[in-house]
Structure 1
């Protein structure tokens, strides 16, 4: 069974700006449209067309308005106009970030279309998801979709279905659980139960499909929400207002009515990083992708409900990166590869009986230079096996356990670090033009 879990987290919490706009409508008789998505690090990446240009967007229940990462220079291509400068605030202990607000844009998702859409373009290079996902992501979208449709998310088959509420018909489902939603600043919250040190604690969590972690909890001694002595400190990800750090650990049980997840991953973010989130005093944390993906989900904002049905991911074990390495795509590098070309000579060039039904195979082995992805170390956890072995931020991993990394996706390479404790990892890296070898064993981080 794969033990693939998150290693990056992106949480964007924007204010409800309250701008009056139109709604999405579906341009077909069924009033329903199906969209295929990619599931990368527990995050849903969907195609979104803006002003006639198709881009890749993260689907995030925690974001109020569509955001474009404008450092990608897409604003000119999209013909974004009618802009004004505003400041947005979110997770992280930094300052508000500057953004351009653009009005009257046209959005299309499958057969769903919306006119006069506001878009926010942000230039902060730290909000570039592409290197960490190994896949281009141009922006984030959320509340506009969930407000207008009943949204089915089929994590197991990688598709999204948007249906206009008046056209939707629920199917009977004995194996489903339906939970009520509550809203604060147009964002969905759910009441569930966690068990920490054998104590059952009711908690209110933001449903955050834009976070790849499983569960975030805000420490509160009076409620019994605390990390205890079994944890490790880690980088949790980038928020809209800067980096987020905190503790990682496990909880005994996460209960969503009858659905029970044992030994679930949990992160306890530092208070300085979540001051903005704590404005909602009743909020105790977030429920994110590594839990949500274990269900096929129906989100119905009109009825304020979420329906869950277990899928093939449900029994996937929770685990952590046992190397301490976080990788990101870092451009490309030239790789020398063998180019085997098979040449055939006509049988007429051979003599007598040897020429009958004979074909001479000549393998002309040559080398070619190809551009391949480079995977660089961007974070190393303190006191981790990788740090103790001498690896450094900026090292480019060339081979892992004698396999060339450029032959695999970023996610396939990272998957090796989530294997069982005790597994031997051998790395060959490029450090400023010098090839070095390192070796260590995976260790449980706490």
Structure 2
């Protein structure tokens, strides 16, 4: 899970993002990875991958050590605080940078560079992620996110026209301190239609987070778990589910929820009226239009709306851990047939088996939930995942492997792993502990 809420020093607004005068909108395709939106953005001529994160106020780079070159301008040192257990971290502040998203440009963008190599989202996401950004794009455009088609459109606010659509609903959106907040209702324990104020956080791959207080408490059925990583370290809490979540007239039943521990948010001096966060696993069930300039948001159900929430039934967390070589067998046909009449009778094909070395991503177990099926089977952190139910996993993306390991309750999993130069086979049955 990914969560980034950064507290940055206040600076005056830089130049805005804009389109050529001849255009009123720009359309881009994005990758949807583990409920997160990944956009290609050029920074001073270098092509980078950014998470679109409405919970972050200004762009942050944190994975640039492997880049051939990246120029950043007018640099000074600052301190950043954020979510997680740990101390504030040092970063570089840079201004007068050029950002481009196709025809969208900003010639005077401020950004921050975190030099700590331990802050790296790429292993958890399963693809190279160089940074996060959000507020400036939402501020300067009406942002139309079509999760089902994986297309995002940016419109000039002054020319954007609202369409009549009976299946969509327009709701008020409060913009406060460069963040967007939405009112909703939750159903849990003995609370029915309990009103909550939620941070809209496209940079969280989770569904909904709730903060404990005098009225909101964790349901009895829960388990302790690693929830994600923030700028100041890891975030832990309790995983559970709630009876329902209402967004306007849309009702989501049996929603997955998490309650982060209070220490993780100790760096946030005041949560105000905020009760939690709304993340990508809920947002992707809609096509969403954000209009910060008018304080509005439009929700329209899409093909993901009725899909069940994805639970970690195995108890395993995975991440990429560099690359490794594997030997693959290939068949090399030998033999030539000649026939002047261009017709063939019986032909014998001779094959010679050969081995080819291939460089593939290495996927390892990064965490195991205590008491989970995988933990009881004897799996360990650091085990290299080789195959799931007979399928060699090197041709699959990280999220696809996670889906294999959490397919459905009651399914038997045969997991082949590498440990200390030995291949070991473990078997366990997937279980939902919240039932």
* Fold-level similarity (TM above 0.5): yes
1:411: how far off? 1.2
| Structure 2 partner of 1:215 | 208
* Alignment equivalent of 2:176, drawn from 184, 194, 197: 184
Task: Give the conservation status (yes or no) of the 8 Å contact 1:344–1:359.
Answer: no
| Structure 2 partner of 1:255 | 246
1:185: how far off? 1.1
Rounded to whole Å, the distance in 2 between the matches of 1:363 and 1:104 is 61
Are 1:167 and 2:159 matched, yes or no? yes
1:355–1:110 CA distance, 2 compared to 1 (3 A): closer
* Alignment equivalent of 2:40, drawn from 29, 47, 51: 47
Rounded to whole Å, the distance in 1 between the matches of 2:308 and 2:206 is 14
Are 1:26 and 2:14 matched, yes or no? no
| Structure 1 partner of 2:119 | 127
Are 1:11 and 2:9 matched, yes or no? no
1:216: how far off? 0.2
Are 1:440 and 2:425 matched, yes or no? no
Are 1:85 and 2:77 matched, yes or no? yes
Task: Give the conservation status (yes or no) of the 8 Å contact 1:71–1:124.
Answer: no
Task: Give the conservation status (yes or no) of the 8 Å contact 1:345–1:361.
Answer: no
Structure 1 unmatched runs, 5+: 1-7
Q: Give the secondary-structure state (helix, strand or coil) at the position aligned to 2:137.
A: helix
The two structures, once aligned, show a CA RMSD in angstroms of 1.8
| Structure 1 partner of 2:368 | 380
| Structure 2 partner of 1:303 | 294
Rounded to whole Å, the distance in 2 between the matches of 1:18 and 1:212 is 29
User: What does 1:233-244 correspond to in 2, within 5 Å?
Assistant: 233-244=224-235
User: What does 1:40-439 correspond to in 2, within 5 Å?
Assistant: 40-74=33-67, 77-199=69-191, 200-220=193-213, 222-223=214-215, 225-277=216-268, 279-348=270-339, 356=344, 359-439=347-427
1:129: how far off? 1.1
Figure out how many residues of one structure are paired with residues of the other and give that number: 433
TM-score (ref. length: structure 1): 0.93
Q: Give the secondary-structure state (helix, strand or coil) at the position aligned to 1:291.
A: helix
Task: Give the conservation status (yes or no) of the 8 Å contact 1:347–1:358.
Answer: no
Task: Give the conservation status (yes or no) of the 8 Å contact 2:64–2:130.
Answer: no
Question: Could you list the per-position Cα deviations for residues 140-179 of structure 1 after superposition, in whole angstroms to 9, with x for gaps in the alignment?
Answer: 0101101100000000000110111112111111111111
Q: Give the secondary-structure state (helix, strand or coil) at the position aligned to 2:69.
A: helix
Structure whose residues are more often helix by fraction: 1
TM-score (ref. length: structure 2): 0.96
Q: Give the secondary-structure state (helix, strand or coil) at the position aligned to 1:145.
A: helix
Structure 2 unmatched runs, 5+: none
1:87: how far off? 0.5
Q: Give the secondary-structure state (helix, strand or coil) at the position aligned to 1:125.
A: coil
1:347: how far off? 2.3
Task: Give the conservation status (yes or no) of the 8 Å contact 1:106–1:114.
Answer: yes
Moved over 6 A (4+): none
1:258: how far off? 0.9
